[in-house]
């Protein structure tokens, strides 16, 4: 299978994965479905990056989904409901918190049932309002980190809940500030900075969340150098869940499109985050995170520093920044597979862009791989 940016989808391509979409109610396109013009229009209207389709040139590639589409859909609906309830009544009912706790447990058991926990960010991007999608992504990334750090299931459930609700305090922040397309003024930023404590205090009143869950929510914007908020805590003073959520939160936020900027590529964000260890992030947690995410997911086209376009075949768990890639001849025929991590001959070769970047979508290679004959 191969990841195709949404603008390159053509009728006749066969979906290689289920896709949720929401236009007047949630529906599902299922794996194996042949794309028709109206499906493609809907996928384009969803503003998603792209989808995986079947492809002969990459028939040997396997994509492990971290979450089933069913769970993903259930999580998004529950998060949306609890945020809406909270925004209407300014308090959380026992029933609403009970439902979201239940869904957090399902999310954890779905992740734990997977043989390999390596997150492809594309899987978590997409088809819903940013706030809900971001809550889901942060919870999944946090749980993946928690698994690598050896947390037990009860703690993972608490951590997932902390991730799903980490930004619930934002319902009290005016929409004009939250969605402002330019830089916030100092006063506006002060308003935004209230959301961790606001969420913490209101959830505490519900008496339904564990202390670790609440502390994670309150401290997800602290930085290890003491320059975060609200309490300017340093290093290990920052609750453990808060340090995990900080990593998950920043990674998802920087890779997402926002009103004021385009999302960056996972590889770029990972490099930025590695440069901020011991400034913003806890070293041990960042290391666990790096083992949990695929910077360049399998099935993704990437550009290489020698100008060639290649397809990611699989990830090396020891170093997810240097996967095994398949390079092609000019006419799109397969040339060879290169292991960027284990094969010393290629250590100078780097990945310079991925999937939906201009250097790839403008290349003749993209047109070659998207020839319809390749899919049928
Ligand atoms: Fe936040």
Cα 253 to averaged position of ligand 1 atoms, centre (Å): 10
- As a whole-number percent, the residues of the chain with pLDDT over 70 amount to 88
Residue pair 331/343 in contact by the 8 Å Cβ criterion: no
Cα 187 to averaged position of ligand 1 atoms, centre (Å): 17
Cα 53 to averaged position of ligand 1 atoms, centre (Å): 34
Last residue of a domain, one of 274, 290, 306: 290
55 & 176 share domain: no
Give the model's pLDDT for residue 25: 52
Residue 217: CB atoms within 10 A of its CB come to: 32
Cα 66 to averaged position of ligand 1 atoms, centre (Å): 24
Q: Look at residue 315 and give its three-state secondary structure.
A: strand
Helix, strand and coil content of the chain, in percent to the nearest 5, comes to: 50, 15, 35
132 & 203 share domain: yes
Indicate which CATH number applies to the domain containing 91. 1.10.3210.10
Helices (DSSP H) in the chain: which residue ranges? 37-45, 69-89, 94-112, 121-124, 130-148, 153-165, 175-178, 186-192, 195-206, 211-218, 240-255, 266-275, 283-290, 358-361, 364-369
152 & 21 share domain: no
Cα 167 to averaged position of ligand 1 atoms, centre (Å): 5
**Angle between the N-to-C axes of helices 153-165 and 211-218, in degrees from 0 to 180, rounded to the nearest 10:** 40
Cα 166 to averaged position of ligand 1 atoms, centre (Å): 6
Cα 68 to averaged position of ligand 1 atoms, centre (Å): 26
85 & 29 share domain: no
159 & 200 share domain: yes
**pLDDT reading at 337 higher than 60:** yes
The average pLDDT across 300-318 equals 87
Tens of pLDDT, residues 174-214: 988 988 888 889 999 999 999 999 999 988 988 889 999 99
Last residue of a domain, one of 247, 271, 290: 290
Chain-centroid distance of CA 151 in Å reads 21
Cα 193 to averaged position of ligand 1 atoms, centre (Å): 8
246 & 146 share domain: yes
Q: How far apart are CA 119 and CA 138, in angstroms?
A: 12
271 & 317 share domain: no
Cα 245 to averaged position of ligand 1 atoms, centre (Å): 9
153 & 283 share domain: yes
Cα 22 to averaged position of ligand 1 atoms, centre (Å): 25
Helices (DSSP H) in 258-330: which residue ranges? 266-275, 283-290
Number of domains making up the chain? 2
254 & 328 share domain: no
The average pLDDT across 105-118 equals 88
Residue span of the structural domain in which 194 resides: 69-290
Cα 239 to averaged position of ligand 1 atoms, centre (Å): 15
Cα 132 to averaged position of ligand 1 atoms, centre (Å): 12
- Contacts for 286 with CB less than 8 Å, ≥ 6 apart: 247, 273, 274, 277
Cα 199 to averaged position of ligand 1 atoms, centre (Å): 10
Residue 251: CB atoms within 10 A of its CB come to: 26
57 & 74 share domain: no
Cα 195 to averaged position of ligand 1 atoms, centre (Å): 7
**pLDDT reading at 27 higher than 70:** no
Q: Which of 301, 353, 326 is nearest to 53 (CA)?
A: 301
The mean pLDDT value of the chain amounts to 85
pLDDT band at 127 (very low <50, low <70, confident <90, very high): low
33 & 132 share domain: no
Cα 297 to averaged position of ligand 1 atoms, centre (Å): 26
263 & 176 share domain: yes
Last residue of a domain, one of 268, 290, 312: 290
- As a whole-number percent, the residues of the chain with pLDDT over 90 amount to 40
Residues near ligand 1 ion, CB 5 Å cutoff: 167
Tens of pLDDT, residues 141-161: 999 999 999 999 999 999 999
Cα 196 to averaged position of ligand 1 atoms, centre (Å): 6
């Amino acid at each position: 299978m191969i990841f195709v940016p949404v603008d390159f989808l053509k009728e006749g391509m066969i979906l290689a994965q289920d896709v949720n979409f929401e236009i007047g109610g949630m529906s599902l396109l299922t794996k194996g479905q042949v794309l028709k013009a109206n499906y493609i229009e809907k996928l384009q209207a969803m503003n998603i990056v792209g989808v995986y389709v079947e492809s002969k040139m990459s028939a040997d590639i396997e994509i492990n989904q971290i979450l089933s589409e069913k769970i993903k859909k259930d999580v998004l609906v529950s998060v949306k409901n609890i945020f809406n309830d909270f925004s209407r009544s300014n308090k959380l009912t026992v029933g609403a918190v009970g439902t979201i706790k239940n869904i957090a447990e399902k999310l954890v058991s779905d992740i734990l049932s997977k043989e390999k926990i390596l997150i492809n960010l594309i899987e978590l991007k997409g088809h819903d309002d940013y706030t809900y999608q971001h809550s889901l992504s942060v919870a999944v990334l946090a749980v993946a980190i928690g698994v690598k750090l050896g947390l037990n299931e009860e703690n993972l459930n608490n951590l997932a809940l902390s991730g799903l609700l980490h930004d619930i305090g934002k319902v009290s922040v005016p929409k004009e500030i939250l969605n402002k397309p330019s830089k916030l003024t100092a006063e506006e930023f002060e308003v935004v900075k209230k959301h961790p404590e606001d969420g913490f205090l209101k959830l505490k009143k519900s008496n339904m969340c564990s202390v670790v869950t609440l502390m994670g929510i309150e401290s997800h914007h602290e930085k290890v150098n003491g320059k975060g908020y609200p309490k300017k805590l340093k290093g290990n003073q920052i609750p453990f869940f808060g340090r995990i959520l900080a990593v998950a939160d920043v990674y998802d936020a920087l890779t997402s499109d926002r009103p004021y900027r385009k999302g960056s590529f996972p590889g770029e964000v990972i490099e930025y985050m590695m440069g901020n260890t011991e400034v913003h992030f806890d070293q041990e947690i960042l290391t666990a995170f790096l083992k949990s995410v695929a910077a360049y997911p399998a099935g993704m086209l990437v550009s290489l520093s020698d100008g060639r376009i290649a397809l990611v075949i699989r990830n090396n768990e020891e170093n997810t920044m240097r996967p095994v890639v398949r390079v092609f001849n000019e006419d799109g025929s397969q040339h060879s597979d290169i292991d960027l991590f284990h094969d010393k001959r290629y250590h100078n070769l780097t990945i310079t862009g991925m999937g939906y970047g201009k250097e790839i979508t403008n290349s003749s290679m993209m047109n070659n791989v998207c020839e319809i004959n390749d899919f049928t």
